[in-house]
Amino acid sequence: MSERFDVVVIGGGIVGLASARAIHARRPSASIAVLEKESSVAAHQTGHNSGVVHSGVYYRPGSLKAELCLTGRRLLLDFAEARGIRTSPIGKFIVASRAEELPALEMLEGRARANHVPSVRRIDAGELKARAPGVEGVAALDIPTAAIIDYPAVARALAEDLAVVGGVRTGSRVRATTARGDGWTLDTVAGEVDAGFVVNCAGLECDLVAGLMGVRAPVAIVPFRGDYYHLGDRVRSTITSLIYPLPDPEMPFLGVHLTPMIDGSLLAGPNAAIAFAREGYRPGTFDPRELQRLSVFPGSLGMLRRYGGIAAREWLRSWGPAEFLAAIRVLYPAARRTDLGARTSGVRAQAVRPDGSMEDDFVFVHGPGALHVLNAPSPAATASFAIGERVAAEAGFASAS
Ligand SMILES: Cc1cc2nc3c(=O)[nH]c(=O)nc-3n(C[C@H](O)[C@H](O)[C@H](O)COP(=O)(O)OP(=O)(O)OC[C@H]3O[C@@H](n4cnc5c(N)ncnc54)[C@H](O)[C@@H]3O)c2cc1C
pLDDT for the residue 249: 78
From ligand 1's centre to the CA of 203, what distance in Å? 5
Ligand 1 test: best mutation among 14, 49, 279, most atoms within 8 Å of CB? 49
Categorize the per-residue pLDDT at 252 as very low, low, confident or very high, splitting at 50, 70 and 90.
Answer: confident
Ligand 1 test: best mutation among 378, 387, 390, 391, most atoms within 8 Å of CB? 378
Ligand 1 test: best mutation among 9, 39, 46, 204, most atoms within 8 Å of CB? 46
Nearest residue to 75 (alpha-carbon basis) of 136, 159, 14: 14
Q: Ligand 1 atom closest to Cα of 51?
A: 8
pLDDT for the residue 309: 85
Q: Ligand 1 atom closest to Cα of 43?
A: 49
Has residue 1 got a pLDDT over 80? no
Tens of pLDDT, residues 113-128: 999 999 999 999 999 9
Domains along the chain with CATH numbers: 3-46+152-219+360-394 (3.50.50.60), 92-144 (no CATH), 220-358 (3.30.9)
- Ligand 1, pocket residues at CB < 6 Å: 10-16, 35-38, 43-46, 48-52, 54, 173-174, 201-205, 209, 226, 270, 346-348, 376-382
Q: Ligand 1 atom closest to Cα of 224?
A: 53
> pTM (2 decimals)?
0.97
Write down the mean pLDDT value for the chain.
95
Categorize the per-residue pLDDT at 189 as very low, low, confident or very high, splitting at 50, 70 and 90.
Answer: very high
Percentage of the chain lying above the pLDDT 70 cut:
99
